[in-house]
Structure 1
Amino acid sequence: MTERFDAKDLAQAEHAGILQPGQAQALLNFLQQQPQSRGSFQLAHVAFYFGALLIMGAMGWLLTEAWMRVGDWALLVIALLYITLLTLFAVGLQRRDQPIAGGVLGAVAVSIVPLAVFAIERLLGWWPLDDAQADYHQYYTYVQGGWLLMEAATVLAGLLMLRLIPFPFIVMPIALALWFMSIDLSEWFHGSPFSWEQRRIVSLWFGLALLLVFLVVDGRTRRDYAFWGYLAGLAAFWGGLTLMDSGSELGKALYCLINFGLMAVAVLLRRPVFMVFGAMGVAAYLGYLSYEVFAESLLFPLVLTLIGLGVIGLGVLYQQHREALSKRLRAQLPSSLLQLLPGLRR
């Protein structure tokens, strides 16, 4: 549950006989001594994640040819220095009771591992691609078979980092590397050329598999690793599904139905991230229909506005009644299936 309680709420519960005399104050003291068990997301947390993304971008997306000219040895030293220092900072912050700041720095350290492996491969002469394909920033923009060792090393480093710093955000670079690896392996087994349509299909099935894996993880770990796994899985699944070329109206209607299914899963699991992706898909389909019907009409902006308001309204209803809706939906499922679902703990 994400609702916040204060001393007044606990006093009322004690007055109503729900808590025994003296228990309200004892419970309040206990909660105040364990602030990290609270589900609040503060402005400082935004700064932590934003800072982590900036560093990831600097060492990945924004690594230009100018950096490549410094030489492979320099790249390796820079990468190892970043990884070592960030890991030390992360461990230090963990020990100082700053788990979020430490965790995101641990994730950043994992995200730099591909750069170190890239430099090592080039130094040892193991780099499988030609010089025209040697830019490291292409690792994030064009997946191909030559990146497999970098991806495997990232997954291994991420698992080791999770042992050292058990923080859920570290799942993200692991999931990203696995996503790249699934496409690269498919290309490797299939052989070239591997079309973008085939890449989308692989992305869709990988995302679905990742969602199933974290459905098993959900509710069975002390920390919420499932959130980031769901996010990565949905990005791969929904992205592949949305980018697939559907030339028929039936295919587009099926796309909308699948997104409605994601919204139902959000209610079932009480995971808003499914609602977000599902609502975006449904809104995209309704926008397409409204364009086909009202493309030459002055009503088109009004229709899109109404669709947007409807999506927002659904979000409000879900937020207000998600627990009741979830329980009602779960009541319709067989007990054998219910045992596979995470409990109503959040």
Structure 2
Amino acid sequence: MTDRFDAKDLARAVQAGVLQQGQDQALLAFLRQQPAARSSFQLAHVAFYFGAMLIMAAMGWLLTEAWMSIGDGALLVIASLYILLITLFALKLQRRGQPVAAGVLAAVAVSIVALAVFAIERLVGWWPVHDTQAKYHHYYTYVQSGWLVMELATVLAGLLMLRLIPYPFIVMPIAVALWFMSMDLSEWFFGSPFSWEQRREVSLWFGLGMLVVFLVVDGRTREDYAHWGYLAGLAAFWGGLTLVDNGSELGKALYCLINIALMGMAVLLRRPVFMVFGALGVAAYLGYLSYDVFAESLLFPMVVTLIGLGVIWLGLVYQKRRERLSEALRSAMPQWLREALPALRD
């Protein structure tokens, strides 16, 4: 809030008679006590998230063979130190009123838990015998049931971290671990080899389930945990949906309609992430029409251009009247459905 209003704005409100003398300072003090995570997104936040992603990559899918050669004991010590020191640093930042930096570091600590569990499993002999040559970076690329303990530990660590540092970004490593778990459990039930068709189907249904869960969570928690939950759910759902081999024109048209529905959800929930994925899906369908169905048509690019201009115009209309549009869309729904939807956020 303090990023939108400052002392000069409130002083002008006093001069205009909107606030009484002295109320401006009391209001400013109150706004400064509100959680900074609810303020507008700043350039510094980009640095926080980018730095966190670099650390996650370095201790995850970019972990080199050299790290495997140092031994499981040394790997466990280093991973444990990373988790401990990063967590302590995050708690210190939280006490100093830096919730965004603290939250992203807490998410980094949670993401490294899988590496520590990997080392423990190999040290105590719990690692499956046929997977003794597996490297840690395979965790991010291969489906196999041997990763389940690592995924479960990541989820539990994430839930515990949310108790210490309740920041929404911590939902992301939890969601990724659950996504991996859905794949590995599916291989456990269906057996190996786990085909690409099965992976797509599991990803699609898991993502849809996650979207439903966070639709229930949305608007019912103090922090906006649904933001990152929607992103993870859409990535799994939309990725699985896009990779499905729709051989018929009807199936491809249905894919486009589903993406248009995602764009409608963006208006209904005021969640731009739905608009992003929906727009990508519609663009993919139009690309298919351009290169396959209407490859010889001179008018098709012009039609798509007009559609693009129309979408931009709709975006401008939505930007000016988003509250009215959201309310109108909700008012057209049955009462029981309106009551089930989350409250609108600014």
Q: Calculate the TM-score normalised by the size of structure 2.
A: 0.91
Match of 1:145 in 2: 145
**Unmatched tracts of structure 2, length 5 or more:** none
Residue range with higher mean Cα deviation, 174-183 or 125-134: 125-134
Contact 1:283 1:308 in 2 (8 A): no
Deviations 1:300-329 (A, max 9, x none): 776666665555444444333322111000
Q: Superposed, which structure 2 residues align to 1:1-346 within 5 Å?
A: 4-5=4-5, 19=18, 21-22=20-21, 25=24, 26-34=26-34, 36=36, 38-128=38-128, 130-131=130-131, 133-296=133-296, 309-346=309-346
Q: Which amino acid aligns with 1:171?
A: V
| Structural RMSD (CA) | 2.6
Q: How far apart in 1 are the matches of 2:116 and 2:259?
A: 39
Q: Which amino acid aligns with 1:126?
A: W
Deviations 1:82-104 (A, max 9, x none): 11111111111101111111111
Deviation at 1:141, TM superposition (A): 1.1
Q: How far apart in 2 are the matches of 1:141 and 1:247?
A: 27
Deviation at 1:296, TM superposition (A): 4.8
**Unmatched tracts of structure 1, length 5 or more:** none
Q: How far apart in 2 are the matches of 1:164 and 1:32?
A: 22
Residue range with higher mean Cα deviation, 230-239 or 30-39: 30-39
Aligned length: 345
Contact 2:158 2:174 in 1 (8 A): yes
Q: How far apart in 1 are the matches of 2:39 and 2:67?
A: 41
Deviation at 1:187, TM superposition (A): 1.2
Q: Which amino acid aligns with 1:95?
A: R
Q: How far apart in 2 are the matches of 1:70 and 1:342?
A: 50
Contact 1:61 1:140 in 2 (8 A): yes
Q: How far apart in 1 are the matches of 2:303 and 2:155?
A: 46
Q: Which amino acid aligns with 1:119?
A: A
Contact 1:283 1:307 in 2 (8 A): no
Deviations 1:260-291 (A, max 9, x none): 11111111111111111111111111121122
Q: How far apart in 1 are the matches of 2:228 and 2:210?
A: 11
Q: Which amino acid aligns with 1:271?
A: R
3-state SS in 2 of match to 1:142: coil
**Identity between Structure 1 and Structure 2 (%):** 77
Q: How far apart in 2 are the matches of 1:3 and 1:128?
A: 53
In the superposition, relative to structure 1, how do residues 313 and 130 fare at CA in structure 2: closer, same or farther (>3 Å)? farther
Contact 1:211 1:234 in 2 (8 A): yes
Contact 2:37 2:100 in 1 (8 A): no
In the superposition, relative to structure 1, how do residues 210 and 302 fare at CA in structure 2: closer, same or farther (>3 Å)? same
Q: Calculate the TM-score normalised by the size of structure 1.
A: 0.91
3-state SS in 2 of match to 1:112: helix
Deviation at 1:21, TM superposition (A): 3.9
Q: Which amino acid aligns with 1:257?
A: L
Q: How far apart in 2 are the matches of 1:136 and 1:310?
A: 48
Deviations 1:44-95 (A, max 9, x none): 1000000000000001111121211111111111111111111111111101
In the superposition, relative to structure 1, how do residues 217 and 271 fare at CA in structure 2: closer, same or farther (>3 Å)? same
Contact 1:234 1:274 in 2 (8 A): yes
Q: Which amino acid aligns with 1:53?
A: M
Deviation at 1:339, TM superposition (A): 1.2
In the superposition, relative to structure 1, how do residues 335 and 147 fare at CA in structure 2: closer, same or farther (>3 Å)? same
Q: How far apart in 2 are the matches of 1:337 and 1:197?
A: 34
Residue range with higher mean Cα deviation, 28-37 or 216-225: 28-37
Contact 1:11 1:24 in 2 (8 A): no
